[in-house]
Chain A
Amino acid sequence: MEKKFNSKGIEFVPKNDVSEEAKLKLNKLIEGKTERLNKLVADYKAGRLVSQ
C-alpha cells in the first residue's frame, strides 16, 4: 500500500475517468517542460546564462 503523505501534503485525484483529450494535453504539459529544460541547457552552453 502506498505511503500517505504527512500533514504537510494534500493529494488530489480525479473524481472521474480522465478523457483521452485530457491525457494528450497532460502529455504535452510534460513535453513542454522537457523543451524548456533543453533550451535552458542550450542557453547555458551558449553563455547566455552567466553565473553572478
Chain B
Amino acid sequence: MLRFTTHESLNSSHFFITTLQDNICMLNFTKLDQEEMFFQHDYLQENVFELTVAKATANKENCGKGLAPTIKSIFDTFLAEREETVVYVSMEENSSKYHLVTRYINNEVDPNYKMLLFKADNKAFFFFFNEHKTSTVEVIVGLTRYFKNEYGISFVNN
C-alpha cells in the first residue's frame, strides 16, 4: 500500500498517491454537473461520481508497482463509507486499463459490491456501487433511460 494524502470538497474527493518512484498520482472522484453528463434523473445527477486517475508530476518514469492495489483500496473505502453513491469510469474497451478493471471485478469477493457495464462502439462505461447502500433499481432504470434518451441506444443484458 502506497502512502497518500487527500483533498475533500462538497462535490469531489482527491487522493494524491506517492509512488515508489516519488511520482504523484492523482485519484479523483468528482460529481458531474449537467453540462458534463446530463442524466435527466435526479438520483443519478446527485449521486454519480466520475473516477479519474492521472500522473500529476512531470517525471517520465512509470507510476509502477503498488499503484493498482492502492487505488483499489481507496476505491473500496470510498464505496463502503458512502450512502447512495455510484462511481462511474469510462475507457476504451480492450485497453490495458479495461483488462485491469475486469480482472479486479472477477476477483471481487465483497458481497455488497455491484457493477454495471454498458458497452457500445468499443467503449466501456462502468458504474460501481454498494448494493446495500444504493438503490440498484434506481441506478439500472436511470442509466438505461439515460443511454436511450441521450444516445438513442437501447441496452439489453448480455
Contacts and interface: CB of A to CB of B under 8 A. Distances in A.
Interface residues of B, number: 44
A20 to B, nearest CB: 10
Most buried by B among A8, A29, A30, A36: A8
B54 A52 contact: no
B37 A29 contact: yes
B63 interface: no
Interface of B: 5-8, 14, 16, 24, 26, 28, 30, 36-37, 50, 52, 54, 56, 90, 92, 102, 105-106, 108, 110, 113-121, 123, 140, 144, 150-158
7 contacts: A12-B157, A22-B120, A26-B151, A36-B52, A40-B54, A44-B56, A51-B5
Interface of A: 3, 5-6, 8-16, 18-19, 21-23, 25-27, 29-30, 32-33, 36-37, 40-41, 44-45, 49-52
